[in-house]
């Protein structure tokens, strides 16, 4: 396994939302190299390498000729730094969009393959032992020993539930005690959902099935644990805002996006809205 694949499976330093934003501010202010960031933040080489990889996975930067540049998405995150629900939900999506799509292995499996299955059950609680057991079902995909898998799964789980340094304020996963978690639906902002739908849109496609938006891996229903009724409410909002059209007559159950709009336009609209 290459160095990048190993880091993508789980870094030695866990993802921290505020730390990522502080690094983006430094890069935006002209600190373009790893040495610049290391000097400004007083980081060791291992930590700056790990957080450089987190920046890449989050798609907030590009890295070329040993210099970072903010992407359009990264510039948007900086502009949203005081609007937690917007920037946190967007970053959670990037981390959870599947390793094959550039996302993070553990975030993707925990959100899409484990917690999602408990969000709609009568008992929406899951024990840590069950989480650890279920994550081991995917051990062949990363090729590391079971103890390392469990350790790294717990590290990334702590970020998902941490209200101070992670995504806990979204309220999706709540830690009840050392061995139990509770899973809740999260109603993401319509424009955040629009960005994700456009990002998930396959090039050349003319329509997307609503069932896919509700339950397909990495789409809004699965990422935020939203049922069909909730998703339909979001889609109706977006139709009113002219980002898409809903087609449910004549046996159809799909949407079409606005061909005059792209996902970068949606990022601009998010900044304008907040």
Instruction: Report pLDDT digits (tens) over 144-175.
Output: 899 999 999 999 999 999 999 999 999 999 99
Residue 167 structure tokens: 């995504």
Instruction: Report pLDDT digits (tens) over 117-126.
Output: 999 998 999 9
Which one, of 9, 18, 87, 81, lies nearest residue 50 by Cα? 9
Phi, psi of 250 (to 5 degrees): 65, 30
Residue 134 structure tokens: 């279920």
Would you say residue 3 has pLDDT above 50? no
The mean-pLDDT minimum among 38-52, 92-106, 174-188, 250-264 falls in 38-52
Our CA angle for 255, 102, 200, nearest 5°, is 5
Helix H or strand E encompassing 69: strand 67-70
User: pLDDT-derived band of residue 11, with 50, 70 and 90 as boundaries?
Assistant: low
Give dist(CA 24, CA 69) in Å, integer.
9
Give dist(CA 68, CA 179) in Å, integer.
40
Instruction: Report pLDDT digits (tens) over 228-245.
Output: 999 999 999 999 999 999
Which one, of 218, 214, 221, lies nearest residue 99 by Cα? 218
Query: Could you give all domains of the chain from N- to C-terminal order, each with its CATH number?
Result: 3-79 (1.10.10.10), 84-183 (no CATH), 190-273 (1.10.10)
Q: Which pTM does this prediction carry?
A: 0.94
What would you report as the CA-atom Rg of the chain, rounded to the nearest whole angstrom? 19
Average pLDDT over residues 196-204: 97
């Amino acid at each position: 396994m290459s160095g990048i694949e190993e880091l993508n499976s789980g870094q030695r330093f866990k993802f921290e939302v505020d730390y990522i934003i502080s690094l983006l501010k430094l890069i935006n202010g002209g600190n373009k190299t790893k040495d610049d960031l290391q000097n400004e933040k007083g980081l060791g080489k291992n930590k700056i390498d790990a957080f450089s990889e987190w920046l890449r996975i989050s798609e907030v930067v590009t890295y070329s000729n040993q210099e970072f540049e903010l992407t359009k998405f990264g510039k948007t995150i900086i502009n949203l730094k005081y609007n937690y629900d917007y920037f946190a939900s967007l970053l959670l999506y990037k981390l959870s969009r599947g390793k094959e799509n550039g996302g993070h292995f553990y975030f993707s499996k925990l959100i899409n393959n484990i917690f999602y299955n408990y969000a709609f059950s009568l008992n929406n609680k899951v024990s840590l032992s069950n989480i650890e057991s279920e994550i081991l079902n995917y051990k062949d995909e990363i090729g590391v020993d079971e103890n390392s898998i469990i350790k790294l799964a717990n590290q990334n789980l702590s970020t998902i539930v941490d209200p101070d340094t992670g995504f806990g304020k979204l309220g999706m996963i709540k830690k009840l005690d050392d061995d139990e978690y509770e899973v809740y639906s999260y109603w993401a902002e319509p424009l955040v959902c629009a960005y994700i739908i456009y990002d998930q849109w396959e090039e050349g496609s003319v329509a997307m099935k609503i069932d896919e938006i509700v339950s397909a891996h990495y789409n809004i229903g699965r990422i935020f644990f939203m049922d069909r009724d909730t998703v339909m409410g979001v889609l109706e909002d977006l139709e009113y805002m002219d980002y898409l059209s809903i087609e449910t007559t004549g046996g159809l159950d799909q949407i079409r996006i606005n061909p005059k709009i792209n996902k970068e336009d949606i990022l601009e609209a998010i900044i304008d809205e907040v």
